[in-house]
Amino acid sequence: METIVRPRTRTPWSRLLHRRPVVVDLTEEEPGTPETYRAMDLALRVGELLLASGESTESVTEAMLSLAQSYDLPRPEVIVNFTAISISCLPGQGAAPVTGERVVRRRSPDYTRLVAVHQLIRDAADGLPLDVAFLDLKQIKHGRNFYPRWIIALSLPLMSAAASVLTGGGLIVSSVAFVAALLAERTTVFLARRGVAEFYQFSVAAAIAALTAVLIMATGVQLQGSAVITAAIITLLPGRPLVASVADGITGAFVSSAARILEVFFALAAIVAGVGIVVYTAVHFGLPLSMAALPAMPPGLDALQIVAAVALTVTFALSLHTPPRELLFAAVGGGLIWVFYTLMREANLNPVVSAGVSAAVVGTLAHFAASWQRRPALPYVVPLIGPLLPGTALYRGLLELGGGNVGQGWLNLSQALAIGMALAAGITVGGELVRAFRGTPIAAMAAGWRRPAARRTRGY
């Protein structure tokens, strides 16, 4: 041990501080080794996979710090943004700091891999060797998906069919909604493989779904086309990034939160553009698209609507590659959130409050279930918002704009956005309650992590 004593000075601040000898243990500082660089590489790869799967900025930071702590990285620092992550460490003994960075270029939400990566982080905290951790990560990243491709391909069309039942459609409307969503989904896959920007993918998908309903009505078939278009809109609404943006904002990651909000905005703008062009053209040529034709079925507690809400939640979970173990929780949660929402609407509460309170109650139960199962929360909470996504309000606004009623149209679009924000805020409340009553998440405990937003000074 070496004791370093700073000489006394005459600066004003030196008289205000109590001087103590500074003890520095220089033997603990070691230059970087190849194991240090490999541990940094593992942390970066894990962070990239988590961020691409839709995890919040705080959760990615906790996971990377946990791996840094597990593999003895000296004085690690982690920075996570919307598209880039970096980790650095200071080896000591005059050695230069080491920094690594990776960029997330493609986002593919896969909750099966998300759960597996969180299990890998817990195993690393329990002493998993670094070489074995690399092999496990490679198997997670390149292993086969649990569900066949045809199930994933049919998940969004089935979600659209279930949504049409919630909005008052019958068997014919559900069948048309299924076909429209299937055409839209296959078209987006075709465009994605050719490198077309996601904005135009959303626009084309929304236009195809709306055009399918309009063309069928143009042939004279008695069809509730508004229910078809509303159901197709629900499958395109950016519920997952909206939840992540609110979670990032609440935890103090304002840069990532603002970027995710912009992602939500551009997704909504693409939907508005695609559906709006079709609706405006249909109204201009006199096709029967009017406010009277909007889905008018109120939320109810009859068996058909509850089953449709459960089916919508489960198919939404399948589209996100949710593991089978979590599908049962998704089914129960989808039914519960619809029941709570219906009861509050029957009590004459407005849709925004009803959606927010329902999401908070059921989301809290889902967060506690995830904590009890020692699993990440996203597969439990994100599918729950499916039955309450504001497809009808969004389509109502588009129809008003297409008919020339600009003021009422923007009011309905604002209500749709308010419902979405209420859902996202309500879902995140449960995570804070779990943190308060069940302690810090496992990854954060392994890293000795404490949330920076919780350490602010009181007052302003």
pLDDT of residue 29: 47
CA angle 24, 30, 34 (to 5 degrees): 160
When the pLDDT of each residue in the chain is averaged and rounded to a whole number, the result is: 79
* Among 365, 375, 374, residue whose Cα is nearest residue 427: 365
Q: State yes or no: pLDDT of 314 exceeds 90.
A: yes
Q: Residues 5-41: pLDDT tens digits?
A: 445 545 454 454 455 554 545 444 455 566 778 888 9
Q: Give the span between the Cα atoms of 220 and 365, in whole angstroms.
A: 48
Burial (CB count within 10 angstroms: exposed 0-12, middle 13-18, buried 19+), residue 194: exposed
Q: State yes or no: pLDDT of 457 exceeds 90.
A: no
Q: Residues 254-312: pLDDT tens digits?
A: 888 888 888 888 888 888 888 878 877 877 776 655 544 555 566 777 888 889 889 99
Residues 6+ positions from 56 with CB-CB distance below 8 Å: 244, 247, 248, 251, 253
* C-beta neighbour count of 115 within 10 angstroms: 22
Q: State yes or no: pLDDT of 233 exceeds 60.
A: yes
Determine phi and psi for 326, rounding to 5 degrees.
-90, -10
Helices of type H across 17-100: 34-52, 57-70
* Residue 271 contacts residue 236 (beta carbons within 8 Å): yes
Q: Which two tokens stand for residue 5?
A: 């004593």
What confidence category does residue 240 fall into, taking pLDDT thresholds of 50, 70 and 90? confident
Residues 6+ positions from 441 with CB-CB distance below 8 Å: 59, 62, 435
Residues 6+ positions from 284 with CB-CB distance below 8 Å: none
Entry pTM:
0.82
Q: Give the span between the Cα atoms of 116 and 64, in whole angstroms.
A: 15
* Among 96, 98, 89, 92, residue whose Cα is nearest residue 24: 92
User: Residue 281, by phi and psi: left (phi above 0), alpha (psi -120 to 50) or beta?
Assistant: alpha
Q: Give the span between the Cα atoms of 21 and 23, in whole angstroms.
A: 6
* Residue 21 contacts residue 4 (beta carbons within 8 Å): yes
Mean pLDDT for 69-79 is: 86
What confidence category does residue 225 fall into, taking pLDDT thresholds of 50, 70 and 90? low
Task: Please name the helix (run of DSSP H) or strand (run of DSSP E) that holds residue 173, with its range, or none.
Answer: helix 171-193
Task: Please name the helix (run of DSSP H) or strand (run of DSSP E) that holds residue 422, with its range, or none.
Answer: helix 406-438
Determine phi and psi for 237, rounding to 5 degrees.
-65, 135
Q: Give the span between the Cα atoms of 363 and 224, in whole angstroms.
A: 33
Helices of type H across 347-405: 351-372, 378-381, 391-402
In total, the chain counts a number of residues equal to: 460
The helix/strand/coil state of 314 is helix
Mean pLDDT for 417-427 is: 84
Give the alpha-carbon dihedral of 344, 350, 354, 356, to 10 degrees. -160
